[in-house]
Amino acid sequence: MRRGSERLRRLIATSALLMVQAAADAPATGQTGQSGDTVVDCEQENSFDSGANCNWKEAIRCCCWCPDPTGAHAWGHVMDLGRVVSNVDVELAIRPGAGDAGCTTAGYMYYSDDGSRWSLLWSEDGLAGWTTYSDRAHISTSVRYIRANTDSCSVDWSAVRVGPATPCANCVGDCNGDCTVTIDEILTLVRIALGKAPLSDCQSGDASGDGEITVDEIVRAVRNALNGCG
């Protein structure tokens, strides 16, 4: 048992290094969504974000010094999907704008089903002004509103495309059903294999259906983490 435990620990350490390297080499851009998805950008006016609060004489939507309507960050916009949806894939984009030369900022995206309780969807440090950043995320719970924020520079533009989640059949190691396998999920598989966590923490890791997590199944999960599910 001790030899098996050591093998698992070495495996996860090697896997983590491979995943970090793969993430560093991967492109940062998002992918095009499917037709029929809900697409909203910060040009939209809604009950949370009318544009009247923007510190810009022409009151141009999406542009310039528009304080975060919720007050949580310095600048931002709220985008309304028009209805509550759940278990969706999100393609997001944000572009910091006006500021001093060389302005950089942290960027954030949050989601909410009612506009009062917000959960972090995405964040990244060191965003450069006048540069568009895009990414993909998954929301398994309910959502209607998505908020884009910065702490310095303004939010020059933000947008989201929201559509039904893409099912991932037989994606070993995808514990939360978001079509990706993360380092944390592989660590969960290792804890299950060592008897330190229940199988219910990641049922998808048990590809054989025998009620256990084996080294071979962890290897399959690592491959899914590196190459993607599909």
Same domain, 138 and 209: no
Give the number of C-alpha atoms closer than 13 A to the C-alpha of residue 77, restricted to the C-beta side. Answer: 31
- Residue 20, φ and ψ in degrees, nearest 5: -65, -45
The answer to the question of residue 33 being in a domain is no
User: Quick check: 172 and 221 in contact, CB under 8 A?
Assistant: yes
The answer to the question of residue 18 being in a domain is yes
User: How many domains in the chain?
Assistant: 2
The model carries a pTM of: 0.61
Q: Alpha-carbon distance 77 to 44, whole Å?
A: 9
| Residue 180, pLDDT score | 86
Which CATH number do you get for residue 149?
Answer: 2.60.120
Same domain, 157 and 186: no
Same domain, 59 and 153: yes
Range of the structural domain that residue 201 is part of? 2-27+168-227
pLDDT per residue rounded down to tens, the chain (230 residues):
455 556 665 665 555 555 545 544 443 333 333 446 999 998 888 888 876 767 665 555 677 678 898 999 999 999 999 999 988 889 999 999 876 557 899 999 999 999 999 999 999 999 998 899 998 888 878 999 999 999 988 898 999 999 987 767 678 999 887 788 999 999 999 999 999 999 888 988 998 889 899 999 999 999 888 888 76
Nearest Cα residue to 67 out of 160, 159, 132, 149: 149
Same domain, 68 and 7: no
Query: Residues of 59-89 as b/e, b for ≥16 C-beta within 10 angstroms?
Result: eebbbbbbebbbeebbbbbbbbbeeebeebb
